[in-house]
Structure 1
């Protein structure tokens, strides 16, 4: 396999995350990370941080209000709290990714599925999203205060007129995928634990494939960039951060 980073077919890495696992790593600007639901019904809880200054991180409120949406799909971007674009959703076969429900914790998992500790279940023990994210953040000197509102890729939650939230089953099918093109060098933290509102009667988190490829950065006519004026300004802010010459329209 070629290691030339200018080759747009170059696979940087490919890895399967089993259900209930967690992962973190640095994804560089110009790299697209594809997450693929291998069996259907997966959930990937994700957090993003500027790797150069981790106090800059994904901001749910700005991401939603800037793009006038309550969920994410193709054409949307993930804003940081500094008004920059951490990553863009360049392709999506699922169509709806939850932004409002957070992650499960140990008490929630035990109440719903019972308790299976490592001493009894070994690698099959029951994990939860919160502790999974904490485990990964600890590798970078981060902790509880660094957990912010996350994205739950492949999951769909709707809100009715009374304000009640409802989990939509079978939102993601086997082989559905979402492509995240990174516009900044980011620390990416993932958990494949079940969604906190998943009504499944059994503990059964699903596996996900992740494959990173070099694809280059957003061109001037990029659909994510042009989807709304707020996105264009955020891309300009991002390019200025990297010392690029840009001209506001």
Structure 2
């Protein structure tokens, strides 16, 4: 059973296929709850007071010497300064190299008939605009709850997720952090079990 880490200051649902965002104050904890299981949650992080300070997959992976994210992972910016830390994780493996789906990548991977489908890049641009962010501010994102195994030759796969209904992970903000989410709308691969669903977002204050 998922429990929040302190007094709840925000409790919202990110709709299936939709975007979500909030500023998580330093010391507060954001808990993402996969309500129905097997739902990828694409995520970008920015320092709330300076959006040029943003999540870096390269800095995060290099610092921890591990490609995958789980409890204890510090999510770092380009200069390796901490933005958030994963303090609890009921799934145990999250992706930081698979990227975000877009209308263009859907067309390339799955055919021109998918060109009209809404995708994570569009969610990021729609939600990011509320905070003054544009396409130039998009960087490699985190895919929470997404299972992307890497073969010995470096080949990436997108396979059934490891999550289940009610599974969660919790992120402590090390600085005031803008969290930008696309609750992934992808229906052409197993990252969402071919059926995107909603996710609960709870911010608590220890």
TM-score by length of 1: 0.74
Q: What displacement does 1:97 show?
A: 0.5
> What residue in structure 2 maps to residue 174 of structure 1?
165
Q: Give the corresponding residue for 1:147.
A: 138
| Equivalent pair of 1:101/1:196 in contact (CA under 8 Å) | no
> C-alpha separation between the residues in 2 aligned to 1:200 and 1:190?
16
Q: Which has the higher strand share?
A: 2
Unpaired stretches in structure 2, ≥5 consecutive residues: none
Change in CA separation of 1:168 and 1:185 when aligned onto 2, cut-off 3 Å:
same
Give unpaired runs (5+ residues) of structure 1: 1-7, 118-125, 216-249
Which of 81, 84, 95 does residue 87 from structure 1 map onto?
A: 84
Closer, same or farther: CA 195–9 of 1 in aligned 2, 3 Å: same
Question: How many corresponding residue pairs?
Answer: 200
Question: 1:107 deviation in Å?
Answer: 3.3
**CA–CA distance in 1 between the matches of 2:193 and 2:200?**
22
Is the 2:103–2:115 contact (alpha carbons within 8 Å) kept by the matching residues of 1? no
Change (3 A) 1:196 1:58: farther
SS at structure 1 position matched to 2:58: helix
More helix by share: 1
Q: Does 1:73 align with 2:70?
A: yes
Residue 182 of structure 1 deviates from its aligned partner by 0.4
Q: Which has the higher contact order (CA 8 A, sep 6+)?
A: 2
Query: What is the aligned counterpart of 1:39 among 27, 36, 39?
Result: 36
- How far apart, in 2, do the equivalents of 1:75 and 1:43 lie? 20
Structure 2: distance between partners of 1:201 and 1:30: 31
Within 5 A, what are the aligned runs for 1:96-135? 96-109=93-106, 111=110, 114=113, 126-135=117-126
Does the CA-based 8 Å contact 1:24-1:136 persist in structure 2?
Answer: yes
The 3 A distance-change label for structure 1 pair 69 and 195 is farther
- Distance in 2 (CA, whole Å) between partners of 1:75 and 1:134 is 30
- Structure 2 vs 1, CA of residues 94 and 100 (structure 1 numbering), >3 Å: closer, same or farther? same
Q: Where in structure 1 do 4 or more consecutive aligned residues deviate above 3 Å?
A: 107-117, 194-197, 199-203
TM score, norm. by length of structure 2: 0.89
Matched residue SS, 2:157: strand
Distance 1:79 1:73, change over 3 A: same
Measure the CA separation in 2 of the matches of 1:160 and 1:153.
20
The Cα of 1:146 is off from its aligned counterpart by 0.5
Q: What root-mean-square deviation, in Å, do the aligned CA atoms of Structure 1 and Structure 2 show?
A: 2.3
Deviations 1:45-80 (A, max 9, x none): 110111111101111101001001001000111011
